[in-house]
Structure 1
Amino acid sequence: MNLHFLQKYLPDGGLFFIVKWLKPYACTIKITHSRRSKLGDFRYRLNGPHQISINGDLEAQLFFFVLTHEIAHLISFAAKKKILPHGKEWKCCYRDLLLESLSIYQKDFQTLVKNFSKNPKASYNAASEIVRYFSPHVPEHFFIEDLHIGHFFEYQRQTFQILKIRKKRYICKNINSGKEYLFNTCVQVRKLTCNDRE
């Protein structure tokens, strides 16, 4: 399996680990366009090579981080078929891969990776420190977890109000439709003032 096409997406030294981890397995890697719903995906196939897809527009460190997540699925499923997708086997495997390849990341990000590896999350969006690290600064935009109950904000050209917090999700009402939605803590939104809503 020739994986050298991945070099342009990866941080320096990253290809070494990808080749090492995938060497025992039949697996294809597909680079996709940006997907809002996910950054990567793993498909376990009984017949034929397994498949990993990953968004091609990710910053190099994030690309490697997400690809490591998907490779952990491959390795843990190959070892034991009947496991939960993000259960203890996957967590253990992902933790091991992250720590093995820690030197690939920049020093300031290594601290976040170490902390994340203690209990790997199933979704990138559930790790607010990592989302913040890779999120571009946009004037007048905040992470929803920086706002408080009662605040109004704009998201995808719709106006919402924060009603309450359930664990790590924010229950927000769409002002136009009256429907309630759950938001992750690290979604970027535009905070609205009284003047904005007039």
Structure 2
Amino acid sequence: MEAMPKKVDRHERRTLIADALMRVAARQGLEAVSLRHVAAEAGVSPGMVQHYFRTKDEMMAFAMAVVRERNQVRVTEAITRLGEEPPPRSVLRALIGAVLPLTEESRADGRVALAFLAYAAVRPDVAAGLSEDTRQLSAFVASLLPGPQPDERAAALLALMEGLGLYLLSGQYDVERALAALDAQLDVAFAPVGPPAR
């Protein structure tokens, strides 16, 4: 009796290729990413890569989606560890801490995300997909903040998160300094609002 041919999981194969792309990008930068280099890293033929991704933009967008999924898993796990009905400050700290490149795995993802942002900066069609993610994250952060002007303060917190991520990835800050800066800003964001001065 002949063995049944193994069914190929399309998402699994695309993720394998995206992982290879991320390793190439993390090691050599996005300019080194090509169908040929990614195929060699993944141990597959260039034709197979082209079967799943017609263009480099498609491959890049999928790799970024993989990074986004991993971040969502890290964020969900970090917030779940806080237990039932955690205070908003703890939720925000867990969220931002989970997104920051504080571990080897998240640093690798962070390098890809940074490279993708640089790639998207000169490709408006690629960048368009990022706006909705940013809007949703900003709205969620704003919903956790007390006091006036939550939207503006959420934007400031997300800008801090991005800046700390850059400093961590470039080695300018270590984990302790980045978390101290985050905690200082959260202290300001959640400081009690007193009555207006007379």
| TM-score, with length taken from structure 2 | 0.27
Which structure has the larger Rg?
Answer: 2
**Larger proportion of helix:** 2
**Larger proportion of strand:** 1
Taking CA–CA contacts closer than 8 Å with sequence separation of 6 or more, which of the two structures ends up with the larger relative contact order? Answer: 2
| TM-score, with length taken from structure 1 | 0.27
